[in-house]
Structure 1
Amino acid sequence: MKRLWQNIGWLLGGRGFNAVMSLVYLALATRTLGLEGFGYFAIIIALGQAVTGLANFQTWQFVVRWGANGDGPADATGFAIALDMLSVLMGTIAAAVLVWTAQLWLPLPDELLWLTFGYCVVSLLSIRTTPTGLLRLRFKFAKATGAEAVQPAIRAAGAILAFFFMPTVTGFVLAWAAAEIAVALALWIIAASEEKIDLSRVSLRRIPAAHPDAWRFVWSTNMSGTLTIAGKQVMILMVGSLGGEALAGGFRVASQLGQALVVLAQTISKAIYPELVHAKDEALLMARRMANIALIGGVMAVLVALFAGRWGLTTVAGTEFAGFYWAMVILAIAGAVELVGASLESLLVSAGKAHTAFIVRAVPTVLALVLLDTAIDWNGAKGAAFAVLGSSSLAVIGFYVAILNLQQIRIRIETEEPVPQPDAAATAPVNQRD
């Protein structure tokens, strides 16, 4: 628990720095571009991150899971790099199709289509889950935090430059693209200094040969990551598609401010997963403690959003975005729910139940996306926020039920008496057998 708290401390420190820098570039982007211009920007960023998230495998989990055993992480790293290369290939094809058909379903002007495709490609080439996994495997959270701090710093600096020299959607997108490249390079350089990366071990066959359940775990975690992206980036894209660029821009601001707790939930999940893999016997107790602490933090954060959110929204984004206050509060509640569920989901994955976690997450996410059009027609951005809240609530309830079932199965197995064998020892008196 001591090491876990230290790791969470480093991650939260990085998130705190990221939050401060986020306020800088969010304020500059919203006030410079306005509601509609920021809507275009939000759609481009969401599309790039959605393509990357959908194509990307959660390779950091593979490095942690298989690199902790055997002769080291060489084969796990090689497998992860091979999957990253596959992600870039698949993602580029998907980006080309999505951008080519963008005008059929997204409110983007012609002059921004090539910029959108370029950002998608940069995001794919900047996939960095493998070096992140190597650093988490060795519990180098301090170094990982330092490398990841490059991203918000470059974004803030780029936003300032865009504000003065290129106050357009293109200028701010270029700032985001530069930050993606910079943080990927920083993580790879630091990871390579900690662990030798043997490119001759890059293979899609070695790990599956040694671990028969490898591909099942790969696809389960990939689909779970896909659902996380669907719950955020795809949601923004669909809000833009159904409600227009202005609604997408406002929903993006409300989501970024209100769902900061989701980022915190992901932080806790990333810190606790390696510990759960190593702890095993104490994993359930550790996850329960983190869920209880998260509940307290979530309630406090929702209260802050409720009483100070309107002021924060208008201070950062301007009065033009004030109408999205209640959407932000609802999304803050959804973030609190996700915060409680973060350790529960990690516990399922660490117990080898990634497929269960995927199913539990999939049903509510798909339901939210299906009902999104009705929700927006009913109450605009607030309706979309309620769809997110409902999805998060159902998922966390599902995680809790799945863990209860898993615990009951283990208790039943541990307490089940062996079947007596028909031999002399089995028919002897109890005191003689003892």
Structure 2
Amino acid sequence: MKRLFSNIGWLLGGRGFNAVMSLVYLYLATHTLGLEQFGYFALIVALGQAITGFANFQTWQFIVRWGANGEGDEPARDSENLREATGFAIALDMLSIALGTALAAIVTFTAHLWLPLPADLLWLTFGYCVVSLAAIRATPTGLLRLHFKFATATAAEAVQPAIRTAGAALAVVFMPSVMGFILAWAASEVAVAIALWVAAGRTQRIDLSALSFRRIPEKHPEAWSFVWSTNMSGSLNIAGKQVIILLVGTFGGAALAGGFRVAAQLGQALVSLAQTVSKAIFPELVHAKENALTMARRMANIAVVAGVIAVLVALFGGRWALAAIAEDDFSAFYWAMVILSIAGAVELVGASLESLLVSAGRAGTAFAVRAVPTVLALVLLDAAIDWNGAKGAAFAVLGSSSLAVLGFYVAILNMQEIRITLGSEDETGEPATPPSLP
């Protein structure tokens, strides 16, 4: 737990820096572009991140899962298993770039049929998608997490908000348009990818001769099942954020998409915190299997308290934040921001529960639990927007998050089966009785 909280501390420090920088570039973008132009910008970014999320395999989880030796507190270092896991991950990254580029071409050049994007922005959109795909960085991130180099990873990831903020400032002066801000975002993606690969290369020698789609699956028959389950779970997380923004633009127009993006960025800061908790706890759950259940329970308890505090902050400080950061046109999205903050609090509670399922080899269960409410939210989004605009869309997100976390909780109630998977037994040799969850 001590190392876990230390790792979370480093990640939160990085998130804190990112949050401060994001407020700066959000202020610059909204005041420079206005509601509708910012909506175009939000749609382009959401489309690029959605395509990258769908095409990207969660290779950092593969490295942590198969690169660890599973013995003691320290991960495997320079082992053949880690070498092959890294080669498998890089091969999957290359596949992601190829498939994602094809998907980007199809989606971008049919976007005029379903997205309120001007024709002169389509090539810019495609270019941003390709850059985002080329900057996939899950593999170096996984190597740093396997070695518990969270401080190093945090320093490398800080490059992104720093470049993004500097680029936004330059855009205000030299190119105050959607293109200027998209170029700043693209530059930040490339810069952070380079920083992470350099940091990972200094931590672990990367042997490109180990690239293979066969070696890891030959050793671990469940490998491809884990690959597709984690990829689909990651895709669902993207659907819950970026695809929602795209569909808000489809059903409500660019201005509504822009306002919803601001509300989501301010209100769902806790989702980023949930991802931080998940990223920090997953390597610990893999390495310390006998304490995994207790660790997840403690983190869920802490998350409940943190979630309540954050929602209260959004409720009482959200109106001021919208007025200070965005223009007056964005003040109508206050209640959407509050609802999304509640959804973020729910996700924060569920982060450790979902990680527990994945670390126990139940990535398929985690995917199924996440899939049903996410699809339901997407199906009902049009009706939700017709009912209450941005607030209706926010309620759809809240409903999806609540059902997913409830599903994680129900799945973990069958803790005896998970204890067997984790290999934990009591003194009699029988599977240990699980402690109660909050």
TM bucket, shorter chain: over 0.9
**1:147 aligned to which of 148, 156, 171:** 156
Alpha carbons 2:300, 2:350 under 8 Å: kept: yes
Helix, strand or coil: the match of 1:73? helix
> Would the aligned equivalents of 2:38 and 2:178 in 1 still touch at CA under 8 Å?
yes
Q: Is 1:282 equivalent to 2:291 in the alignment? A: yes
The code of the aligned residue for 1:338 comes to E
Q: Give the alignment partner of residue 363 of structure 2, picking from 354, 365, 369.
A: 354
CA shift at 1:320, angstroms? 1.0
CA distance in 2, matches of 1:407, 1:28: 52
Q: Is 1:248 matched up with 2:257?
A: yes
2:125 corresponds to 1:93: no
Task: Give the structure 2 partner of residue 297 of structure 1.
Answer: 306
Amino acid across the alignment from 2:185: W
Deviation of 1:410 (Å): 4.4
Q: Structure 1's 100 and 407: CA in aligned 2 closer, same or farther, altered over 3 A?
A: same
- Give the distance between the partners of 1:305 and 1:233, measured in 2 at CA: 21
1:139 partner SS: coil
Aligned residues: 418
Residue of structure 2 in register with 1:17 after alignment = 17
Aligned counterparts, 1:273-422, within 5 A: 273-407=282-416, 410=419
- 2:171 aligned to 158, 162, 167, which one? 162
CA apart distance, 1:265? 0.1
Deviations 1:379-431 (A, max 9, x none): 0000000000000000000000101113367489969x99xxxxxxxxxxxxx
Q: Find the aligned partners of 1:7 and 1:398 in 2 and give their Cα distance.
A: 27
The aligned residue for residue 41 of structure 2 is 41
Q: Does 1:203 align with 2:212?
A: yes
Letter in structure 2 aligned against 1:32: T
Greater Rg, structure 1 or structure 2? 1
CA distance in 2, matches of 1:240, 1:122: 23
CA–CA separation in structure 2 for the residues paired with 1:367 and 1:110: 31
Question: 2:111 matched to which residue of 1?
Answer: 102
- Distance in 2 (alpha carbons) for counterparts of 1:106 and 1:124: 21
The one-letter code of the counterpart of 1:407 is: Q
The residue identity in structure 2 corresponding to 1:137 is: L
TM-score in terms of structure 1 length: 0.94
In structure 1, the partner of 2:74 is none
Superposition map of 1:108-127 within 5 A: 108-127=117-136
Equivalent-residue separation in structure 2 for 1:134 and 1:28 (angstroms): 35
- 1:408 and 1:80 map into 2 onto residues whose CA distance is 29
Contact 2:51–2:103 (CA under 8 A) maintained in structure 1? yes
Correspondence 1:222-233 to 2 at 5 A:
222-233=231-242
Aligned residues with identical type, % of pairs: 76
User: Structure 1 residue 272 and structure 2 residue 281: aligned?
Assistant: yes
Unaligned runs of 5+ in 1: 419-434
Q: Is the 8 A contact 2:380 2:396 kept in 1?
A: yes
Deviations 1:320-373 (A, max 9, x none): 100000000000000000000000000000000000000000000000000000
Q: Any idea what SS the aligned residue of 2:206 has? A: coil
Whole-Å Cα distance in 1 between the matches of residues 129 and 416 of structure 2?
42
Give the Cα separation in 1 of the matches to 2:389 and 2:370: 24
Residues in 2 aligned to 1:243 and 1:118: alpha-carbon distance in whole angstroms: 25
**Alignment partners' CA distance in 2, 1:407 and 1:257:** 39
1:130 matches 2:130: no
Q: Name 2:54's counterpart in structure 1.
A: 54
- SS of residue matched to 2:304: helix
**Partners of 1:134 and 1:364 in 2: CA distance:** 32
> Which contiguous aligned blocks of 4+ residues in structure 1 show a shift greater than 4 angstroms?
408-415
Amino acid aligned to 1:47 = L
User: Partner of 1:428 in structure 2?
Assistant: none
d(CA) in 1 for partners of 2:281, 2:104: 33
Q: Determine the C-alpha separation between the residues in 2 that align with 1:325 and 1:120.
A: 30
Report the secondary structure of 2:288's partner residue. helix
Give the deviation of 1:131 after TM superposition: 0.1
1:421 aligned partner: none
What is the distance in 2 between the residues matched to 1:293 and 1:385?
25
Q: Distance in 2 between matches of 1:46 and 1:27?
A: 18
Partner of 1:429: none
- Contact residue 412 and residue 418 of structure 2 kept, 8 A: no
Output the CA distance in 1 between the equivalents of 2:170 and 2:419: 57
Helix, strand or coil at the partner of 2:80: coil
